[in-house]
Copies of this chain bind each other. A is one copy, B any other.
Amino acid sequence: MTPLAFRRKVRDGIFTGPTAGQCDGFVQANLTIVPEAHANAFQQFCELNAKACPLLAVSNPGEWTLPALGEDIDIRQDVPAYWIYRNGQKTEVTHQLLDFWRDDLVVFALGCSFSFEYLLLCEGLPVRHVELSGSAPVYATTLPNQPAGPFAGNLAVSMRPFKPADAIRAIELTSRYPRVHGAPVHFGDPAAIGIRDLGKPEFPGIVDVRADEVPLFWACGLTPQVALLDAKLDFAIGHAPGHMLVTDLRLDQLAPS
């Protein structure tokens, strides 16, 4: 299925689930949507924390298209699920934003590590949560972000387990794509980055690390949503974890920086 056809199924309410494993070879994006009053600070936050927040596109205030990322994108309807934040609380989960849209909203699309999973599978590396038809678990760490305006918080990371030789290949391959988070930030002992219990991710997913495997941790595009909770904006929107915007960009179009 083309990304356009996939987004149509989302827009029509036919596809409402997580997007891992959908439209192999195309870039998937995290969304953070903030009022214009906070847009400059948020853009600075992304630039200061580019490993977690690699900017793919930014809209003009009130615009719901992202022409750089795909044909006829309507950001209000083309993502399977959204989280609404009000005053530092997650208040609603919704499948469309038509009733929530405001003319001052600015859309930020950030690269997502789901994008490189197809590449790993093509190279014969098993991606556990894709094999088991789930999502990657995401953890809050104690590694602090660089703050900008009201945005701060700690790095969030996604986890995938590999045998050491496969882990080395995964590091090699993902390091070529910094715009979808690049190489991992850590592997091995979860406690070294402040994860107390691997079995209890902040954002659930498949946690199945076998005896001969080590967990690898990649910077995650949910990092700004953790920052949103602390920032206590009156209003903001994020994609629901695992429910990404599937773009028309092919992974090989993201030139290594």
**Which of B171, B188, B214 meets A171, CB within 8 Å?**
B171
Residues of B within 8 A of A171 (CB): 168, 171-172, 175, 183
| Chain A stretch 6-34: residues in CB contact (< 8 A) with chain B | none
Whether A128 is near chain B, meaning CB under 8 Å from some CB there, is no
Residues of B within 8 A of A165 (CB): 185-186
Residues of B within 8 A of A214 (CB): 188
Contact A172 B168 (CB under 8 A): no
Whether A192 is near chain B, meaning CB under 8 Å from some CB there, is yes
Interface majority SS (helix, strand, loop, mixed), chain A: mixed
Whether A197 is near chain B, meaning CB under 8 Å from some CB there, is no
Residues of B within 8 A of A169 (CB): 183
Q: Mark A194-238, 1 if CB is under 8 A from B, else 0.
A: 000000000000000000101000000000000000000000000
Whether A3 is near chain B, meaning CB under 8 Å from some CB there, is no
Whether A67 is near chain B, meaning CB under 8 Å from some CB there, is no
Contact B183 A164 (CB under 8 A): no
A10 and B11 CA atoms in complex are apart in Å by: 72
**Which of B164, B183, B192 meets A212, CB within 8 Å?**
B192
Could you list which residues of chain A lie within 8 angstroms of chain B, going by C-beta atoms? 164-165, 167-169, 171-172, 175, 183-189, 192, 212, 214
